[in-house]
Structure 1
Amino acid sequence: MKKFIALPSLALLAFTQLTIASTTATTPAIETLPVTDGPYLFEQTDRGAPRTAYWICSDKLRTTQVQGLRLVSPDNCGALPQPTLNPKAFDVSTNTYSDIKKVVALSDVHGQYDILITLLRNQNIIDKDNNWAFGDGHMVMTGDMFDRGHQVNEVLWFMYQLDQQAIEAGGKLHLLMGNHEQMVMRGDLRYVHERYQVAAKLLERSYDELYDKSSEIGQWLRAKHTLVKINDTLFLHGGISGEWLDRGLTLDVANDLYRKNIDRSKPELKQDDLLNFLFFGNGPTWYRGYFKPGYDEAELDKILSYFDVKHIVVGHTSQERVLGLYNNKVIAVDSSIKEGLSGELLLMEDNTLTRGLYNGSRIAL
């Protein structure tokens, strides 16, 4: 009887071992590629010392000294950004512009650098060398460069460089803060790509500290607006709810409050009624009311009148393309670039609204 039981057990064991061996032989092992990342640049504690740029080269920390205003990567460290620093990067711009001839807007890049570059090149916003080619036009990025994707730092340094180039050409880059910028700055790191664990470990800083007030990129971001008005259009990440009108807020007040409180913790923000509204719920970086069934267009008309605009351009709520709602009173520019496949942008010129497609073609909105 024991022999009868043992034979099937041995057979089952042999079958299991054969299955494991077969699976191992046919399924390649998953390997984690070495990380190359950077640069990271922070204020020097010794004001007289040269500034040090930090780079991650195949999982190893390396440094270079800033040469004038130029950051040059170490040898054999991949195709990392090598930006020129902007002495005016931390200047706070006005938040209202008029008589701008042409505007381009997009949103929610979420670390998809390659998709961003291809889209902007194909639409002639940048040239083949990734430099500003939009002349005196204004470009609006309505938030969410951080999180999800694996090339966040590349996106940030590219936008940093483009910011300076646009001004030099007589144009302007408006980099608006989205909910994911706010999340990272207050230490909510749920959506950070695992690639950035390497930099955090080697630099002995948590991910949010890589972009804190002591960092070049962090200071640059903290000088940016959350809302901007250009011609007859209001741009922001999420949307304006009726609660904004009830509170009688202005762009100046709101943008100033965002900048002053961006580093406060969620519990601290929640304790203040106005800050709780601005940073969460129905506030401008989270609101999705325009996309919900049964939204009251009469409320939208009141909002447009309040700001004296004809359009509100928002990201945050993903679409398959640039989408106009309510006869283009609301234009959604989150075209799902975060998926890493393609994307679109919005062009506004001569009272014409146009979808700029990934392949370079254009279609009237």
Structure 2
Amino acid sequence: MKKFITLPSLALLAFTQLAIASTTSSSLSAADPTVTDGPYLFTQASSDAPRTAYWVCNSELRTTQVKALQLVSPNDCGQLPQPTLNPKAHDISADTYANIEKVVALSDVHGQYDILLTLLRKQNIIDKDNNWAFGDGHMVMTGDMFDRGHQVNEVLWFMYKLDRQATAAGGKLHLLMGNHEQMVMRGDLRYVHERYRVAGELLDRSYDELYDKSSEIGRWLRAKNTLVKINDTLFLHGGISSEWVERKLTLAKANDLYRKNIDRSKPELKQDELLNYLFFGNGPTWFRGYFKPGYDETELDNILSYFDVKQIVVGHTSQERVLGLYDNKVIAVDSSIKKGVSGELLLIQDEIFTRGLYNGNRVAL
């Protein structure tokens, strides 16, 4: 089994300090009697074999069989997701959409499942039973569901459910890949919550292997885009730098390269000039230039013109609220949900931008 934590040597000191602080109050192992987690579902060796779902119930590994696409948890296993499998979950969606009447966007949930549900419920994106209630609208999650928080798996299965429900209602869920999705998939596990050590030990898998391409959630994530254009708005995690324009990249090419190379190691990615740009530095999942003093708005105008959009919506760089910059040419939707206290979302309808507040109110951006 691979080690649960893999660390670049230069980050070791900082991580050690963080780990000491976190494990003092929450050190978990398979011997801890309090952990419930799951489900985890993997491809069977034989396509004819019944699929087995794995659950952690009070820190013991339990299994159930998948029947009629339904995952049902064992008795006495807490309030874990019990999802219905989606046969179309691994289909690749388009990266450009037009004539969409209403859009909602948010970002950087980082395992804060309860905050996510409350925000979406208060804003009538989901109903009281946590089912899709946004009709034919499109919802964009601009990355970073993984890491930091203690309910990442709950967030993932919830979004998996909304993906199916939105499509059935004539709407769409766009789950864009952020830098933390990319980090986990290539085995950079610096920010994984201690709770997930237990599942890794019991299943004899490192954390990244719980979501590898043999897993249901892993296959679903690997089919997703990293950038999407809806009407006259571009959505992504970090931001677009002028280097994108210089390279004459297209959404289709970039999304395809992300999907094909998501499992490659950092050294492998660094060896390729284009992949090094896409996955690191000034690439779309890491760029923070819009938020730095002295950023040249002319550069932004050139980028908007290149994509034929009026604004770019990004996460990644934390704010206290949904924030418009440069006369709303850039809209930041990382409202610090990761802190586990509250959050906001962005609503777009009839070219009107609205902040959806955590208490259910709405105010103009």
What is the TM-score of this pair, normalised by structure 1? Answer: 0.91
Q: Which residue of 2 aligns with 1:131?
A: 131
2:197 is aligned with what amino acid?
Q
Q: Deviations over 1:21-80 (max 9, x none)?
A: xxxxxxx99996610000000000122210000000000000000011000000000000
Deviations 1:82-113 (A, max 9, x none): 00000000000100000000000000000000
- Cα deviation 1:284-320 (Å, max 9, x = unaligned): 0000000000000000000000000001000000000
- 2:64–2:73 CA contact under 8 A, matched in 1: yes
Q: Percent identity?
A: 81
Q: Secondary structure at the match of 1:70?
A: coil
Is 1:108 matched with 2:108?
A: yes
Question: Amino acid of the residue matched to residue 122 of structure 1?
Answer: K
Which residue does the alignment assign to 1:234? 234
Deviations 1:195-231 (A, max 9, x none): 0000000000000000000000000000000000000
1:219 is paired with a residue whose SS is: helix
CA distance in 1, matches of 2:350, 2:62: 50
Change beyond 3 A, Cα 1:207–1:242: same
Q: How many equivalent pairs are there?
A: 338
Q: 1:30 to 1:229 in 2, by over 3 A?
A: closer
Check if 1:62 corresponds to 2:58. no
SS in 2 for 1:270: helix
Change (3 A) 1:287 1:74: same
> Does structure 1 retain, via aligned residues, the 8 Å contact 2:107–2:141?
yes
User: Residues of 1 paired with 2:88 and 2:247: CA distance?
Assistant: 34
Structure-1 separation of matches of 2:81 and 2:27: 28
Counterparts in 2 of 1:42 and 1:29: CA distance versus 1, 3 Å: closer
Q: Which amino acid aligns with 2:356?
A: G
Inter-CA distance 33–60: structure 2 relative to 1 (3 Å threshold): closer
SS in 2 for 1:68: coil
Q: Say whether 1:309 aligns with 2:309.
A: yes
Give the aligned partner of residue 17 of structure 2.
none
Between the aligned partners of 1:179 and 1:47, the Cα distance in structure 2 is 33
Aligned mates of 1:100, 1:158 — CA distance in 2: 23
Aligned residue for 1:190, secondary structure, equals coil
Taking structure 1 as reference, are residues 231 and 30 closer, same or farther at Cα in structure 2, changes over 3 Å only? closer
In 2: Cα distance, 1:47 partner to 1:35 partner: 31
**Aligned Cα RMSD in Å?**
1.3
Query: 1:12 maps to which residue?
Result: none
Give the match for residue 118 of structure 1: 118
- The change in CA–CA distance for 1:206 and 1:354 in structure 2 (over 3 A counts) is same
Partner of 1:167: 167
Q: Deviations over 1:328-364 (max 9, x none)?
A: 0000000000000000000000110000000000000
Superimposed CA distance per residue, residues 139-193 of structure 1 (whole angstroms, 9 cap, x where no aligned partner): 0000000000000000000000000000000000000000000000000000000
Give the match for residue 13 of structure 1. Answer: none
- Partner amino acid for 1:216? E
Aligned to 2:348, the other structure's residue is in SS state strand
Question: What is the distance in 2 between the residues matched to 1:41 and 1:52?
Answer: 7
Equivalent residue, structure 1, for 2:194 = 194
Taking the aligned partners of 2:354 and 2:33, their CA distance within structure 1 comes to 41
Q: Could you say which residue in structure 1 is the equivalent of 2:13?
A: none
1:228-253: per-residue Cα shift (whole Å, max 9, x none)? 00000000000000000000000000
Q: Distance in 2 between matches of 1:319 and 1:332?
A: 7
Q: Does 1:253 align with 2:253?
A: yes
Q: Which amino acid aligns with 2:281?
A: G
Q: 1:49 to 1:284 in 2, by over 3 A?
A: same
Contact 2:163 2:172 in 1 (8 A): yes
Whole-Å separation in 2 of the counterparts to 1:347 and 1:30? 39
**Which residue in the other structure is 1:23 paired with?**
none
Q: In structure 2, how many angstroms separate the alpha carbons of the residues matched to 1:106 and 1:233?
A: 14
Residues 327/74 of structure 1: CA separation in 2 closer, same or farther (3 Å cut): same
1:78 matched residue in structure 2 = 78
Is the Cα–Cα contact under 8 Å of residues 33 and 59 in structure 2 kept in the other structure? no
Q: Which residue of 2 aligns with 1:349?
A: 349
Alpha-carbon separation, structure 2, partners of 1:108 and 1:30: 25
- Please name the residue that 2:206 is paired with: 206
Residue 324 of structure 2 contacts residue 332 of structure 2 at CA under 8 Å; is this kept in 1? yes
Number of the residue aligned with 1:272: 272
Q: Secondary structure of 1:166's partner?
A: helix
Aligned to 2:361: 361
Q: Which runs of 4+ in 1 moved over 4 A?
A: 28-33
Is the 2:27–2:194 Cα contact (8 Å) retained in structure 1?
A: no
Aligned mates of 1:252, 1:53 — CA distance in 2: 34
Amino acid across the alignment from 1:262: I
Counterpart Cα distance in 2 of 1:309 and 1:99: 14
Distance 1:29 1:115 in 2: 21
Match of 2:144 in 1: 144
Distance 1:170 1:192 in 2: 35
